[in-house]
Structure 1
Amino acid sequence: MSGRLLRLACTTAVAAQAVLAPVPAAAAPDPQRSVAGLLTDLQQLYRRTEQATETYNATTEQLKRQRAEVARLDGELADARLVLRDSRTEAGRLARQQYQGSGGLGPYVRVLLAPDPQHALDEGHVLAELARERARTVARLTAAEQRKDALARAARKALDAQLGLAARQKRQRDDVRGKLADVERLLAGLTPAQLAAVARLEQQGVAAAQQRLTTAGALPADRAAATPAGDRAVRYAMDQVGKPYQWGAQGPDAYDCSGLTSQAWSHAGTPIPRTSQEQWNRLGRVPLNRLRPGDLVVYFPEATHVAMYVGGGKVVQAPRPGEKVTVSPVASYPVLGAVRPGTAGTVGTHRDGPVRLR
């Protein structure tokens, strides 16, 4: 944790993720402002930024699924139009045949006047089959018309939903950018001495929280063996150490917190949800003291941050803007609980709710 804030102050362009316009430096903080107060402000800003990021990620996943649904419906609509065209062609052929045979005696009269009763009976069967074929053709035409109309309505509705999601995604993207700008302004107003003091206080808080977890027996006493898939996920995540955090990123050059965990497990052959909230809600939960490498530790009451347990009381994570993928203590942030990919549903929650670490 040491040096995080100093690195952030030296890399303002990184904090904006290359999408923010330059912002004026904030006024210097009140000299009487406590270091603890500054740290609290920064932590709150980072937390709000990560909440906005995960909301943006969730909408991005919805938009991706909706685009696939629009493409599927468009394909089905194109097929339905071809079927309708063929049905109309067949109906037209039957109509022409009926029109061309309308002169002279009707087909049923010709049957009645036939000199050979057996021939008349045979011809009657033929006429009956023709009538049934015409009925089937009309039924196919009607069904094709109805399917085409239904698919056209569904396609329009799906496209409207896609456009709505795209607009929501843009608003959420702007929200993330605004919150990153707030972080940048606060950092720009801190002196080097304040930055160093805030970094020290943050490191002390994490060390104390980690000690409390260890003393309380909340972490595994021994390093449990990872499953083959868990081992692959950990190795993938560890290979990303040193790559930058970038909100909304899923690699290979940069990651946000859930982008790292979802990609690691995808490469291990076990796809999991994209966002930290969905990982918390849809994966089976495990007690902290039964963690094994590859399990995911979820943070904050809203489940807005996630990291991967690697053993020894450590996690690998993409921490926040301005930082890089790193190995940290489990207690880097307030722990909500842990989940295990490869299991579904909730198999238990932390007895007392979120673990308040600092």
Structure 2
Amino acid sequence: MGSGKWGLTTAAMALACACACVVLASPGTAHASPAPTPTRTPAATPKPVSNKDIEAVRKKLDKLYHEAAVATDAYNAAEEKTQKQSTEIVELAQQIVKGQARLDTLKDRAGAAARAQYRGGGLPPEARLWLSDDPQDFLDGTGRVRQGQHATKGLLDEMARTQQDLRQYAKDASAQWRKLEADREARAEAKKKIKQRISAAEKLEAQLEKKEKERLAKLEEEAAHQAQSAWLGSGVLADIKSDASEQGKKAVKYATDQIGKPYEWGAEGPKTFDCSGLTSQAWAVAGRPIPRTSQQQWRQLRHVDIRDMRPGDLIIYFDDASHVGMYIGDGAIVHAPRPGRTVTIAGAGSMQILGVVRPDAQAGPSSTGAANEAGRRHE
């Protein structure tokens, strides 16, 4: 290609560019404005949660889990009552069946006696004496008749007593049924409250960041440590020197063997436990059945002075007796703390002590007042 042709092409390109410039520069011609440079809004820095806020969360969680524990005791008590009432209703039903069978038998015997009397005729004794060929035989027969009359009267009395028993059985069964329904309603209400409190606590914990949860755990640990230190500082541990009974040793072994198993309200093992489920099951295995709930354990078991405490004894916590742990010695307890936790060892004085109870037969001296005083000093 010659230089002339190249020069023509170059000229054409220059002309085209010139025309394009004229068109773009013509008045009235629309053209796009330069796009503005986007500006970034800096992300808001989350406000740090203060220790005061975390402490408020800790107290709120303590309150929710405490209310759940109280409701759990109510649920367990209602559950125990419904089981007992169901058993009593079954026993009453069996008594009613037996009583009705007995009544049917008595009615048959009374009917047979009435038919025999009818076949003997309705003549008065004087007429039968005159018509008898053998007066002695008549007198013997009269004696038998009188015996029969006494037997018939006894039969009728027994029928009346059986009917009365049946009416009483039916009345008792009806009363037990009403109690059963009331306790079922109480159990359902307690179950609802438990779930509400645990759900609220879990929701509150879920709102915390990882670091906040760590700080919360640290605060809980510090609070327990301070309470335990104050309890030990009272000198109480120096006076606790009693050895466990044989049953107490068995109970402690069972309870400590459960360490690491999850807490579950209403559970008595073998895989999960609540606080009183652990202690009641431990003592059942040791051969000493005790009440199911911590409140019943506090009311029904023998109280001992906290300074006379020995391994296997139960320490009841809080004014409403809503928590229980088993003393294992050296100022420690084994207990099932709350939902989300496992059976563990903790300081015996890490919570507010109400008093101490002793389940086994070798109970020793009772001192309810001293036990309560120890709890008040720890508040």
Summarize deviations over 1:156-185 as a string: whole Å, max 9, x none: 221222122112211211111111111111
- Provide the C-alpha distance between the structure 2 equivalents of 1:40 and 1:273, rounded to a whole number of angstroms: 30
Q: TM-score, normalised by structure 1?
A: 0.86
Q: 1:219: which partner in 2? A: 237
Aligned mate of 1:289, from 292, 302, 307: 307
Indicate if the aligned counterparts of 1:219 and 1:291 stay in contact, CA closer than 8 A.
no
Per the alignment, residue 209 of structure 2 pairs with 191
The Cα shift of 1:101 comes to 3.1
**Which residue in the other structure is 1:299 paired with?**
317
1:106 CA drift (Å): 4.8
Alignment of 1:236-255 (within 5 A): 236-255=254-273
1:113 Cα shift?
3.2
Alignment of 1:115-134 (within 5 A): 115-134=133-152
* Distance of aligned partners of 1:152 and 1:303 in 2 relative to their CA distance in 1, 3 Å threshold: same
- SS across alignment from 2:113: helix
Residue-pair matches, total = 330
Secondary structure at 1:354 match in 2:
helix
Pair 1:106–1:30, CA change in 2 (3 A): farther
Q: Which amino acid aligns with 1:295?
A: D
> What is the letter of the counterpart of residue 37 of structure 1?
A
- Counterpart amino acid of 2:312? G
Kindly report which structure 2 residues correspond to 1:150-229, keeping only aligned pairs within 5 A, or say none.
150-221=168-239, 223-229=241-247
Instruction: Give yes or no for contact 1:225–1:292 (8 Å, CA) kept in 2.
Output: yes
The within-5 A match list for 1:68-107 is: 68-102=87-121, 105-106=123-124
Unaligned runs of 5+ in 2: 1-45
> How many angstroms apart in 1 are the aligned matches of 2:114 and 2:104?
15
| C-alpha distance in structure 2 between counterparts of 1:201 and 1:34, whole Å | 11
2:142, 2:365 → 1: CA distance? 65
Matches of 1:295 and 1:136 in 2, distance apart?
A: 57
Secondary structure (helix, strand or coil) at the match of 2:339 reads coil
In structure 2, distance between residues paired with 1:220 and 1:79: 62
2:291 corresponds, among 273, 291, 302, to 273
- Rounded Cα–Cα distance in structure 2 between residues aligned with 1:126 and 1:151: 37
1:111 & 1:133 partners in 2: Cα distance? 23
C-alpha change, 1:345 and 1:108, in structure 2 (3 Å) is farther
Matched, 1:348 2:368: yes
Q: Which has the higher helix share?
A: 2
8 A contact 1:112–1:120 mirrored in 2: no
Cα displacement string for residues 3-56 of structure 1 (whole angstroms, at most 9, x for unaligned residues): xxxxxxxxxxxxxxxxxxxxxxxxx99945522211111111111110110111
Contact 2:354 2:372 in 1 (8 A): no
- Whether the aligned pair in 1 keeps the contact of 2:303 and 2:356 (CA below 8 Å) is yes
Identity of aligned residues (%): 34
TM-score, scaled to structure 2:
0.82
Structure 1 residue 340 displacement after superposition: 0.9
- Which structure 1 residue ranges, 5 or more long, are not aligned? 1-27
State how far apart, in whole Å, the 1-side matches of 2:308 and 2:374 are. Answer: 17
Cα shift at 1:351: 5.3
